[in-house]
């Protein structure tokens, strides 16, 4: 009888962690840029405050998480062969992207767009599986 963790050992973890690292760095750069522009421009800061206010803020946070998950799959498609993705690698990519967001949350960087939460878990999962639909098999 084989170990249930054998399939986890077979996954391309190094490649998935590289994709998640590039996606997280891109997100951190966008986050820092928005924070810097908001610090310089009062009108831009006011518009960001309106966007992230309670009625619309939840939808914005969910859409950023969905876009981040889809961006991770897009990076994986551009860097690796189409046979790279299947259902288990998509789940592993969700884990790696969440790990990247968690590491980003631990660093003393401004976080306007995405932080580690249940909403980000749901959004990243939706984005990965929405963009990775052809690879479900």
The distance from CA 68 to its chain's CA centroid, rounded to whole angstroms, is: 4
Least confident of 15-24, 37-46, 77-86, 91-100: 77-86
54-79 helix and 87-106 helix, angle to the nearest 10 degrees? 120
Helix (H, G, I), strand (E, B) or coil at 64: helix
Mean pLDDT of the 118-135 span: 95
Domain ranges of the chain: 12-135
What would the two tokens of residue 95 be?
A: 């884990």
Question: For 63-110, what is each residue's pLDDT tens digit?
Answer: 999 999 999 999 999 998 877 889 999 999 999 999 999 999 999 988
Say if residues 25 and 33 touch (Cβ distance below 8 Å): no
Residue matched to tokens 């969440």: 98
């Amino acid at each position: 009888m084989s170990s249930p963790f054998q399939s986890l050992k077979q996954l391309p973890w190094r490649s998935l962690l590289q994709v998640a690292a590039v996606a997280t760095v891109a997100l951190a750069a966008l986050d820092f840029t928005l924070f810097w522009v908001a610090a310089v421009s009062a009108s831009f800061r006011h518009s960001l405050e309106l966007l992230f206010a309670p009625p619309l803020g939840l939808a914005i946070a969910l859409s950023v998480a969905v876009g981040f998950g889809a961006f991770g799959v897009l990076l994986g498609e551009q860097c690796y062969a189409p046979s790279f993705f299947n259902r288990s690698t998509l789940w592993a990519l969700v884990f790696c992207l969440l790990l990247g967001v968690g590491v980003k949350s631990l660093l003393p960087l401004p976080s306007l767009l995405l932080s580690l939460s249940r909403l980000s878990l749901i959004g990243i999962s939706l984005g990965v599986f929405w963009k990775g639909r052809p690879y479900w098999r």
